[in-house]
Amino acid sequence: MSTRHPIFLADHDELRASVRHFVDTELRPHVDDWEAKGFFPDDVFRRAGELGFLGLHYPEEWGGAGGDLAAEVVLIEELGQAGCGAIAMALGVQTDMATPAIAEFGTDDQKERYLRPAIAGTKIAAIAITEPDAGSDAAAIKTKGVRDGDTWRVNGTKMFITNGVRADFLTCVVRTGEEDGHRGVSLLLIDTDLLGVSVSLKLEKLGMRSTSTARAGNRCRSPR
């Protein structure tokens, strides 16, 4: 009798075998070394994109596989077998934290510039919510965005940002309205190569050492 959970179908089994092969041959042999060094190569994103693993539940129109969330579960379950949590966390941020809002609410231009390359693994994404003085209370964030013509001026600092050291863009939670608390908050897409954006050197952690966790903002002094 099959022990497969009813949410998984034959297609998911095929996907599971492909991800497992990737993990067995291209990740697990290296993770101890990457954890010891505290960094895994950006090529892991590019390779995962090439194999189609970064867009499993995104529309084909933007380079995704048009699959369901169960496919994403398969990916994360199998990445979890890599021998360190860092890879699953870093790729999971790319596929399920920094990009879903772009797919759901983004303009075609934003999807072209951010979603498509994130799915291909040619751009690395980070989600920036946490702040030094807000922590888990997202309603207390202070990073402020003010309209300036057809752009925004953003001031603030974000903390503990997974993929932060190498991210090409941040999906950043910013206070754009006057209201306090959960209201008046927007998601802004911020290119990290913009003048005024700075990212700290990698923060040291007890575990998941090879994810590039960083402090980011325009009041953050350290060079990339």
Ligand X SMILES: Cc1cc2nc3c(=O)[nH]c(=O)nc-3n(C[C@H](O)[C@H](O)[C@H](O)COP(=O)(O)OP(=O)(O)OC[C@H]3O[C@@H](n4cnc5c(N)ncnc54)[C@H](O)[C@@H]3O)c2cc1C
**What is the closest distance, in whole angstroms, from the C-beta atom of residue 76 to ligand X in the complex?**
15
- The residue sitting closest to ligand X, measured at its beta carbon, is 135
Q: Are 181 and 139 in contact (CB under 8 A)?
A: yes
Cβ atoms of 90 and 101 within 8 Å: the answer is no
Q: In angstroms, give the least distance from the CB of 127 to ligand X.
A: 5
Q: Which residue has the tokens 């693994």?
A: 121
Nearer to ligand X, 3 or 136 (CB): 136
Q: What are the strands, taking DSSP E only, across 24-156?
A: 125-128, 144-148, 151-155
Task: Give me the least distance between CB of 65 and ligand X, in Å please.
Answer: 24
Distance CA 125, CA 103 (A): 13
Cβ proximity of 59 and 66 under 8 Å = yes
Instruction: Please give the residue ranges that form the binding site for ligand X (CB under 6 A).
Output: 93, 126-130, 135-137, 160-162, 205, 208, 213
* Least distance (Å) between residue 190 CB and ligand X: 13
Q: Is there a contact between 182 and 197 (Cβ–Cβ < 8 Å)?
A: no
* Nearest-approach distance from CB 177 to ligand X, in angstroms: 20
Q: Which is nearer to ligand X, 70 or 198 (CB)?
A: 198
Name the residue nearer to ligand X (CB basis): 63 or 85.
85
Please identify, using beta-carbon distances, which residue of 16 and 163 lies nearer to ligand X. 163
How far apart are the C-alpha atoms of 96 and 54, rounded to whole Å? Answer: 9
Q: Which is nearer to ligand X, 15 or 172 (CB)?
A: 172
